[in-house]
Amino acid sequence: MSPAGLAKVFAALAVLVLAIGVGFAMAGAWLILPFAGLEVLLLGAAFVMYGRHAADYERVEIELGRPGVEMRVEVAEAERITRYRLDDARVSLEEGRVVLRGAREELEIGRHLGPEGRAGLAAELQARLIRGTGT
């Protein structure tokens, strides 16, 4: 769901919760109103957390034609973007995780995919690396 769509759903829920809380408060159960306000605040916090991660991504670029293969990975989480460069990269699927290994570092990607998606990603990357190295 897009952040705009989620904002509409959140607004509708907030109005509904507060309307029910005001109705109970007018009927004499005024203690319902603070709990309704707390519920709206918690829904708002959930909306903010979702919005921060709605645009997360992982981008993998493979550069062929050099001796060896260079792989560049860009990972965006919340508002932080991290870039990695892996020389002579290898791909493995370990316990359902897609792991990229370079000469000096190791990186897990595909965390937001299901098990079938991770297996497909690992197979695709391995196929491209094999084509790039000529083996």
Query: Is the Cα torsion angle 119, 125, 129, 132 positive or negative in sign?
Result: positive
Distances (CA, A) of 112 to 6, 9, 22, 56, 96: 20, 24, 40, 9, 12
Are 27 and 47 contained in the same domain?
yes
The percentage of residues in the chain with a pLDDT greater than 70, rounded to a whole number, is: 94
pLDDT per residue over 60-92, tens digit each? 988 876 666 788 899 998 889 999 988 777 888
Instruction: Give how many domains the chain has, as a whole number.
Output: 2
Are 82 and 129 contained in the same domain?
yes
Are 34 and 65 contained in the same domain?
no
Q: Supply the range of the domain harboring residue 113.
A: 57-133
Report the C-alpha gap between 20 and 32 in whole angstroms: 9
Are 63 and 100 contained in the same domain?
yes
pLDDT class for 23, splitting at 50, 70, 90? very high
